[in-house]
Amino acid sequence: MFLLKKLLTSLILPPGILIIIFLFIALIEKKKKFICFLSVFSALFVYLISIEPVKDLILYPLEKSYTISEKLNADAIVILGGGVYSSGSMTEDTSNRLLTGYLVYKKTKLPVIVSGGAFEGKISDSKAMTEILNEFGIEESNLIEENKSRDTSENALHVSHICKERAFKKVILVTSAYHMKRAVKLFKQTGIEIIPYPTDFKRSNYYNIYSFLPKFSNFSLSSKAIREHIALIVS
């Protein structure tokens, strides 16, 4: 009964309902080979990127690149923002990065650079993170807010300017594991020495029968990982 409930839920809600729609189109348009093929392909693609094993497979090349370093000899900590909602609350990515950055600060007591600008009139990532870190007890003298950047390349550019102004030669870079590979690539292009400190790992690496039911959370993470792979190629 529990499995049936899970199955029905996954088929009624997106992306399951999209898979059914594509298969229905393929059935009623079976005489039109191209439309039939395209519909079946779309259904299969949506299904695959919506299940746990495939989501983890797409994330694996991104998340395996760096592990958490035990050697934290650096001049500063850099925390990259991952988005803020219109309400001002932080996304899951930003929250996980912020918490990890704070734990690194507790170990090192290094200055913290929070990086991320405002987008579409929302509060900037850096402002949201600065306010929380203030509440956590980090003094303003140890916080540096970079609020101009709109993407990772601008994160790297504007943070590098701050580092040059303050003579920071090596930084501990805190960001989501799936995002670390591209972030390191872009930061190294600015000449800054990087100690990667990945967090917010998205892979589950544990599967059961429910792992093969389509879920929107898997679809979203797979899409995010695919976008990251594309950005790595063009960056």
Could you tell me if 149 and 164 are in contact, meaning their C-beta atoms sit under 8 angstroms apart?
no
Statement: the pTM of the whole predicted model exceeds 0.85: yes
Could you tell me if 123 and 90 are in contact, meaning their C-beta atoms sit under 8 angstroms apart?
no
Residue among 132, 67, 69, 59 at smallest CA distance from 98: 132
Residue among 225, 232, 234 at smallest CA distance from 178: 225
> 154 vs 38, 84, 86, 187, CA distance in Å?
38, 17, 22, 10
Q: Which residues pair with 58 in a beta bridge?
A: none
pLDDT grade, residue 122 (50/70/90)?
A: confident
Task: Average the pLDDT over each of 5-9, 46-50, 140-144, 148-152 and give the range with the smallest value.
Answer: 5-9
Say yes or no to pLDDT of 30 above 90: no
Domain ranges for the chain: 1-48, 76-199
Residue among 168, 169, 117, 162 at smallest CA distance from 144: 162
The better pLDDT of the pair 120, 112 is held by: 112
Q: Which CATH number fits domain 76-199: 3.40.50.2000, 3.40.50.620, 3.40.50.300, 3.20.20.100?
A: 3.40.50.620
Say yes or no to pLDDT of 134 above 90: yes
107 burial (CB, 10 Å; 0-12 / 13-18 / 19+) is exposed
d(CA 12, CA 221): 20
Say yes or no to pLDDT of 149 above 90: yes
pLDDT grade, residue 120 (50/70/90)?
A: low
d(CA 84, CA 74): 28
**Which pLDDT score is estimated for 156?**
97
Could you tell me if 193 and 65 are in contact, meaning their C-beta atoms sit under 8 angstroms apart?
no
Cβ atoms < 10 Å from Cβ of 66? 19
Contacts of 45 (CB under 8 A, 6+ apart): none
Q: What integer best gives the mean pLDDT of the chain? A: 94
Say yes or no to pLDDT of 6 above 80: no
Residue among 109, 49, 46, 43 at smallest CA distance from 73: 109
For the segment 201-211, the average pLDDT, to the nearest whole number, is 93
pLDDT grade, residue 121 (50/70/90)?
A: low
Q: How many CA atoms lie within 13 A of 133 on its CB side?
A: 34
